[in-house]
Amino acid sequence: MLMIFSMSLILMSLSSLIMSLTSLISKKTFSDREKNSPFECGFDPKMSARTPFSLHFFLIAVIFLIFDVEITLLFPILILMKTLNVLQFFMLMLFFIIILLVGVYHEWNQGALTWAK
């Protein structure tokens, strides 16, 4: 146990040292107007590149990604059909789907799924 602790301490300190050294070495302090301006095929941009982004659209996209990943987690459960009996399989599926439904209900209750306000 002591060997695992000492090795993890050595690895963490070594990685912290390497990360701090690389951040100190790689700092570039020069910046000018041309490098900070958006690049549009060699021409000056016609409008501002800093247009406001819809935060609500971003939240909907994140919710979609979360539930999309959770749906992909359902596929390995199909492999468990061979090893589990029917009752265990349905209990596992029911538990997972209830977690998904509780998440959807929470997002709906918080108003994250209402598009028009």
In the chain, which residue ranges form alpha helices assigned H by DSSP? 2-25, 33-36, 55-72, 75-79, 86-110
Do the Cβ atoms of 86 and 92 come closer than 8 Å? no
Q: Directed axis angle between helix 55-72 and helix 86-110, to 10°? A: 180
**For the ranges 5-9, 14-18, 35-39, 103-107, which has the lowest average pLDDT?**
35-39
Do the Cβ atoms of 38 and 45 come closer than 8 Å? yes
**Can you give the pLDDT at residue 15?**
95
Higher pLDDT, 60 or 31: 60
Q: Cα(9)–Cα(15) distance, rounded to whole angstroms?
A: 10
Domain residue spans in the chain?
A: 55-110
Question: Residue 54: pLDDT band by 50, 70, 90 thresholds?
Answer: confident
pTM: 0.47
DSSP 3-state of 65: helix
Please write the tens of the pLDDT for every residue from 31-44: 666 666 666 666 66
